[in-house]
Amino acid sequence: MGQRTQVLVIKENNKKERKVTFLHHQWGYGRMMYMALMDMFFQDYHKDTWKRGYSFLTPAAVATSSSFHDCTDEVPTKVLEDVDPNNFASIVRVFDYGDNNNGGLVIYIKEKKTEYNTSNFKIGFLLGWEDTYRKYDDGEEINVGHDKKPFLRWLTPEEYGKMNGGSDYSDEKFVRIFMRFCRYFGIKLFKNATTPEENLAAVEILRREYEEYEKKFKDGRAIPYGYDYEGETYLLAAKYLDGTEGEYELYSYFLIKSFENPIKDIETGGWNEGWGKITDKALKIISKNTGLSKNKILSGGIRKPDWKIVACGENAVKTYDTLSFIEQNDIQGVVLENIIKVY
């Protein structure tokens, strides 16, 4: 329900380091994304009055609205790492993992050599599925003149203003004001350097490449997230064995770095609250790296999930210590060869 849109913000500092943030708004059509851009521009514009601890690469947020929620951790790490503002297909891949039936906005913020100067901004709108052209079996047509597929090309602010489901709010007068704002402050627009057909083909290639990448984590092996290795804390998880009565077995291992300080989380939040935070984060990590939905992963309960969270922090080490000698050797033999830190 709602007119869901998402804003992808790519920050790049003058050392070419990037920070990607993916925001979601449940009722984000109409003017909302336009005003999100203005909000972020003014945050950057006023950075000459830096607060203590200011960092250009702080995750982006809309300061004047609490309705934009950060959902970056719902996107696989590799997809985020591959984002390139000059590669349209890599942008669309992020939106593949979002809830955005009314489209999105991409904001590329590049820091200048002189840090306190206003950054360079570049933006582009994207059409969502709900606003595409469709013709039904009875001959009814909706959104006539719109693209037939979503996320096919960059839209100008004027195009998105007319095509999105909230066009009564992003009317011509409002969009003219917005465009004057952009021109005055030198905010650039993304231009289409490739055709929609080329964009679609490039996106499909990236999707297939990521499927191949995922096979490393989904080829029937257990993917453990757990156990303390060289002073770093990991989460330990087990894969459900088909054909057994609710049994979970640890039998093949790769490591994914988990929490900075899970024990501290438990101590400061109380056992129940702290464990809840860790479990929630663990679900996201496992979901992200296995491609499974969260309802197939569980830390307990009566359901039989594909994966079960066994332990974390010190408990992960204790769990490892209670395994049989053969199982421990099993872990060591693969762990030493395959330390993969994805998160």
User: pLDDT tens, position by position, for the chain (343 residues)?
Assistant: 568 999 999 999 999 999 999 999 999 999 999 999 999 999 999 987 777 778 899 999 999 998 999 999 888 888 898 999 999 999 999 999 988 999 999 999 999 988 889 999 999 999 999 999 999 989 999 999 999 999 999 999 999 999 999 999 999 999 999 999 999 999 999 999 999 999 999 999 999 888 877 665 443 333 333 333 333 434 445 555 555 554 444 333 333 333 344 434 434 444 445 445 555 655 565 566 555 555 554 443 334 445 454 444 333 433 444 443 334 333 333 332 222 222 2
Is residue 222, in this structure, part of any structural domain at all?
no
Closest CA to 40 of 68, 18, 15: 68
pLDDT number for residue 220? 33
Q: Which amino acid is at 127?
A: L
Asked whether residue 219 is domain-assigned, the answer is: no
Query: Are residues 55 and 194 located together in one domain of the fold?
Result: yes
Q: Are residues 175 and 207 in the same domain?
A: yes
In whole angstroms, what is the distance from residue 295 CA to residue 303 CA? Answer: 10
230 falls within a domain? no
Phi, psi (deg, nearest 5) at residue 200: -60, -45
- Whether residue 257 sits in one domain with residue 160: no
What is the model's pLDDT at position 203?
A: 95
Whether 225 is covered by a domain: the verdict is no
CB burial class (10 A; 0-12, 13-18, 19+) of residue 268? exposed
Q: Domain of 199?
A: 5-213
Query: Cβ-count burial of 252 within 10 angstroms (0-12 exposed, 13-18 middle, 19+ buried)?
Result: middle
> Which residues pair with residue 270 across a beta bridge?
none
Q: Which of 213, 245, 280 is the last residue of a domain?
A: 213
Q: What are phi and psi of 124, to 5 degrees?
A: -155, 140
Residues 188 and 246 in one domain: no
Domain boundary among 161, 180, 213: 213
C-alpha distance from residue 280 to each of 73, 224, 248, 295 (Å)? 11, 17, 20, 12
Judge if 21 and 161 occupy the same domain. Answer: yes
Domain count, the chain: 2
Rounded CA-CA distance 148/279 in Å is 41
Q: How far apart are CA 36 and CA 64, in angstroms?
A: 8
What CA–CA distance (Å, rounded) separates 42 from 6?
A: 20
- Same domain for 114 and 11, yes or no, is yes
Are both 183 and 279 inside the same structural domain? no
Whether 159 maps to a domain, the answer reads yes
Gap between the Cα atoms of 323 and 331, Å rounded: 10
Strand pairing report for 188-189 and 235-240? unpaired
Positive/negative CA dihedral, 178, 184, 186, 190? positive
Q: Based on the fold, state whether residues 89 and 164 are members of the same structural domain.
A: yes
Looking at the fold, whether 243 and 118 belong to one and the same domain comes out as no
Does a structural domain hold residue 227? no
Say if residue 241 is in the same domain as residue 209. no
- Residue 259: the pLDDT is 39
For the chain, how long is the longest CA-to-CA vector? 73
Residue 75 corresponds to which tokens in the numbers above? Answer: 């996107």
Using the 3D structure, point to which of 213, 246, 279 is the last residue of a domain.
Answer: 213
pTM value is 0.66
Residue 186 has what pLDDT? 97
**Distance in angstroms (rounded) separating the CA atoms of residues 304 and 298:** 8
Note the pLDDT of residue 54: 82
Same domain, 94 and 204: yes
Answer yes or no: are the C-beta atoms of 112 and 56 closer than 8 Å. Answer: no
Regarding whether 262 and 203 lie in a shared domain, the answer is no
